[in-house]
Chain A
């Protein structure tokens, strides 16, 4: 009963493609199976991804590999402190004849075909840029040259350096809520992998590493269709709906649900967040995960597998706890999952 039904042969074929996609990425990025799986889930859930982690753990390499395997038009910008929204949309320069020219910038250059927009070091950009990004992510459209540009296949991947605090701008809550997932990347802990990463010259040259990834494994143009189909194809039972509602209220009112964390006053921990959009994202991502696992029913395990990445960045804590966010939130998510009964 857990197998995909034959009627959904297209879903089965796409699942094979998705697994092949994961295998291709894993060629370039080793020891990050979880991050790769989450990125794959995000692609098939049609959600934007924010990668977060230390310097040099492979965030950019992962995103470059993903962009290559995904196919479709690809643009990349680097966040800087002096970047303005116009820099994303317009490219202004002095032409050979000495007159100023305005041409489409990185976002508009590929127009409708743009499928992967890669924003490096997003927290270095100013809030003005973030707000532009907000619309781009939420509505997949932007106003420029006095008309509206639409990007039906657009998927935004951003990365953020966790270490740097100087000259950075924290993402506003609204912008964070629009990301489907915030994936934390850590260096692999396996000693063998660490040795390989340190000594194998293959991993020293990122360009050739990314070049090993087979291009265009997935047709980005068709992903929207299959994403919609699988959202309908994965069954969620009343018991699971009940579980989600319990999870949701546990996040909003942890004290009432009996969640206890050391050194935290549970009744004044959560200020807000866990929006309906966030819960909807959680279910979308969980359905994709169920599909990748070869099931046609949604299980609590699927929700748990994507819970931290889809929910943690949407939970806003009281200011007194916000500074300790990095430490409290993983524990909080773990406690929620460990407390809410399933089924």
Chain B
């Protein structure tokens, strides 16, 4: 907290005086009849509690301005939030149109101030006056009018006596921190456990779907295992035996998916039994052609030239994706 002013300790204000000053300042009504700017009617400042303010207190004020219909306050003319004087800050400003009465609209400015006046006795201070410009909202109109908001008083009070009795330990002037409320950690802990369980369950479901360890050796995710093995083998893709091993991995994936040994001639029947892989008919056909060339052909190296390793890896990945998409759980959920 900043103390921007100190006053010599004179009289201490009595509560009755503060109350009287508050009642006086509670409502300041100012009627302005400006002939040049007839568009502006009455300006009323309402200050609900202009007394008993201590250092650092926030307090509100409402300014009601009557303006002719069609006039609106210019945002640029409103007081800016921020320090107004060395002891006063404006916290926030809001403006809202009110009801229409006799051709005049009542504009309401809500202001929040904060005082930093370190008073030594009860003291009357004046909130600075300001001007709000109203402009006609009609198209291409340049008419404007100024509403003068007068200053109004507030009463600030000291927090402590002027000369506190001396004590041995200055810390005795300090008051202990208000005790931290004892909160029950039970619900938060239960919530934490619940979210942890939810997270683990989600992880388990994801692992099951993606066939991660330890759920990777399932017949329902044969292609996921094959794709994993192919990806591992692709690290040494220059190796001839790695290519053959990758082909074998895909063979075993097909076998496990179908529950029998799938040979090249079985491909149409396999696709009929497993329509999930229908979109992969062409890559599978090329796979079997490559496998025949690699394992049974006269020129095993030809397989690689016709169906290179990256194609093999891509096909394995697509098979695993099709397997996931066509999983029984998914199909039921989709239907």
State whether A342 touches B263 (Cβ < 8 A): yes
| The residue from A239, A304, A339, A340 contacting B296, defined by CB atoms under 8 A apart | A239
* Interface residue range, chain B: 20 to 34
List, in ascending order, chain B residues with CB within 8 A of A299's CB. 263-264, 292, 296
List, in ascending order, chain B residues with CB within 8 A of A235's CB. 296-298
**A296→B292 CA distance, assembly (Å):** 12
List, in ascending order, chain B residues with CB within 8 A of A339's CB. 261
| The residue from A1, A239, A337 contacting B299, defined by CB atoms under 8 A apart | A1
Q: Is A240 interfacial (CB-CB < 8 Å)?
A: yes
State whether A343 touches B252 (Cβ < 8 A): no
**A161→B297 CA distance, assembly (Å):** 42
List, in ascending order, chain B residues with CB within 8 A of A304's CB. 263
| The residue from A2, A236, A338, A341 contacting B292, defined by CB atoms under 8 A apart | A2
Q: Do A240 and B297 form a contact, CB below 8 Å, given A299-B263, A338-B261, A341-B251? A: no
**A230→B92 CA distance, assembly (Å):** 100
Q: Is A33 interfacial (CB-CB < 8 Å)?
A: no
State whether B298 touches A343 (Cβ < 8 A): no
State whether B299 touches A341 (Cβ < 8 A): no
List, in ascending order, chain A residues with CB within 8 A of B295's CB. 237, 239-240, 343
| The residue from A1, A338, A341 contacting B298, defined by CB atoms under 8 A apart | A1
Nearest CB of A to B248, in Å: 7
**A235→B299 CA distance, assembly (Å):** 11
Q: Is B291 interfacial (CB-CB < 8 Å)?
A: yes
List, in ascending order, chain B residues with CB within 8 A of A297's CB. 292, 296-298
List, in ascending order, chain A residues with CB within 8 A of B69's CB. none
Q: Is B175 interfacial (CB-CB < 8 Å)?
A: no
State whether A341 touches B255 (Cβ < 8 A): yes
State whether B292 touches A342 (Cβ < 8 A): no
List, in ascending order, chain A residues with CB within 8 A of B291's CB. 343
Nearest CB of A to B113, in Å: 86
**A340→B252 CA distance, assembly (Å):** 11
List, in ascending order, chain A residues with CB within 8 A of B255's CB. 341
* Cβ-closest chain B residue relative to A339: B261
**A340→B261 CA distance, assembly (Å):** 7
**A298→B264 CA distance, assembly (Å):** 13
Q: Is B102 interfacial (CB-CB < 8 Å)?
A: no
**A239→B296 CA distance, assembly (Å):** 6
Q: Is B203 interfacial (CB-CB < 8 Å)?
A: no
Q: Is B189 interfacial (CB-CB < 8 Å)?
A: no
Q: Is B293 interfacial (CB-CB < 8 Å)?
A: yes
* Cβ-closest chain B residue relative to A343: B295
What count of chain A residues pass the 8 Å CB interface test? 21
**A236→B265 CA distance, assembly (Å):** 18
Question: A293-325 CB contact bits vs B (8 Å, 1 = yes)?
Answer: 000111111001000000000000000000000
Nearest CB of B to A272, in Å: 26
List, in ascending order, chain B residues with CB within 8 A of A341's CB. 251-252, 255, 261
| The residue from B248, B263, B297 contacting A1, defined by CB atoms under 8 A apart | B297
Q: Is B94 interfacial (CB-CB < 8 Å)?
A: no
Task: Give residues 256-310 of A contacting B (CB, 8 Å).
Answer: 296-301, 304
**A96→B61 CA distance, assembly (Å):** 151
**A87→B302 CA distance, assembly (Å):** 59
State whether B296 touches A298 (Cβ < 8 A): yes
Nearest CB of A to B145, in Å: 95
Interface hub of B251, B263, B299 (most chain A Cβ within 10 A): B263
**A304→B263 CA distance, assembly (Å):** 10
**A338→B258 CA distance, assembly (Å):** 10
Nearest CB of A to B124, in Å: 100
* Cβ-closest chain B residue relative to A334: B260
**A157→B264 CA distance, assembly (Å):** 32
State whether A1 touches B293 (Cβ < 8 A): yes
Nearest CB of B to A239, in Å: 4
| The residue from A237, A239, A296, A342 contacting B261, defined by CB atoms under 8 A apart | A342
**A296→B299 CA distance, assembly (Å):** 12
* Cβ-closest chain A residue relative to B255: A341
List, in ascending order, chain A residues with CB within 8 A of B260's CB. 337-338
Task: Give residues 50-72 of A contacting B (CB, 8 Å).
Answer: none
State whether B263 touches A301 (Cβ < 8 A): yes
Nearest CB of A to B273, in Å: 14
List, in ascending order, chain B residues with CB within 8 A of A237's CB. 295-298, 300
Q: What are 16 pairs between A and B in contact, CB < 8 Å?
A: A1-B293, A1-B298, A1-B299, A2-B297, A237-B297, A239-B296, A297-B292, A297-B296, A301-B264, A337-B261, A341-B251, A341-B252, A341-B261, A342-B263, A343-B251, A343-B296
Binding site for A on B (CB under 8 A): 247-248, 251-252, 255, 259-261, 263-265, 291-293, 295-300, 302
Q: With A2-B297, A240-B296, A341-B255 given, can you name 14 additional A-B contacts, CB distance below 8 Å?
A: A1-B293, A235-B298, A237-B295, A237-B298, A237-B300, A297-B297, A299-B263, A299-B264, A304-B263, A337-B261, A338-B260, A338-B261, A339-B261, A341-B252
